[in-house]
Amino acid sequence: MPAGLKQSSSVVAIGFSVDESAANTFTQASVDLNLSPLDREVFVVLAVNLDPFNPDLGATASQVASSLTTTSQTQVVNLSNSNCIAASSTSIKADATRAVGFQTIAGETPPATLDYIGIIATNDFFIQVEGNGNTGAKGMDGKLYGYRAIASADIFAALVQSEVLSA
């Protein structure tokens, strides 16, 4: 258990999905955690599973990229972004004669030595998806695993400030 936090729920799984508003268009959705800021409630993330849809197979390359972040974004981001908890992409590299598929997954299952992979201190998290080279709109499904915790006043203030200022 992280210092300054007291677990207040059992482990819960939160399912979510987002679909592109049009083919190859960045789309973002927010998922409300219903945390109580008056009780200094945070969400401790244990694991994330992102499942982007398969890209279209054609004569050119195509991709579906997705991410889960603690703050709103203007594009799909990767783990180098300090607010990114997980990222995943599925792509097909193709030319007129052949095609090869690739999948990139970051942070689906944390190493057993980690107590947690992230802490969400504000009331919601954000999911992003964007295709490239597809003829139809794509999307992403996922699941977030974690538990609610009560933070001490100083830890809660530091977590919220860090999350909001890094947006």
Host domain of residue 108: 14-37+49-116+124-145
- For residue 162, is it within any domain? no
- For residue 43, is it within any domain? no
- For residue 21, is it within any domain? yes
pLDDT in tens, the chain (167 residues): 678 899 999 999 999 999 999 999 999 999 999 999 999 999 999 999 999 999 988 778 899 999 999 999 999 999 899 899 999 998 888 777 776 766 666 555 555 677 888 999 999 999 999 999 999 999 999 999 999 999 999 999 999 888 887 76
**Number of structural domains in the chain:** 1
- For residue 30, is it within any domain? yes
3-state secondary structure the chain: CCCCEEECCCCEEEEEEEECCCCCCCEEEEEECCCCHHHCEEEEEEEEEEEECCCCCCCCCEEEEEEEECCCCCCCCCCCCCCEEEEEEEEEEECCCCEEEEEEEECCCCCCCCCCCEEECCCEEEEEEEEECCCCCCEEEEEEEEEEEEECHHHHHHHHHHHHHCC
Length of the chain: 167
- For residue 134, is it within any domain? yes
User: pTM for this one?
Assistant: 0.88
- For residue 2, is it within any domain? no
What burial class does residue 134 get, using C-beta atoms within 10 Å of its C-beta: 0-12 exposed, 13-18 middle, 19+ buried?
buried
- For residue 139, is it within any domain? yes
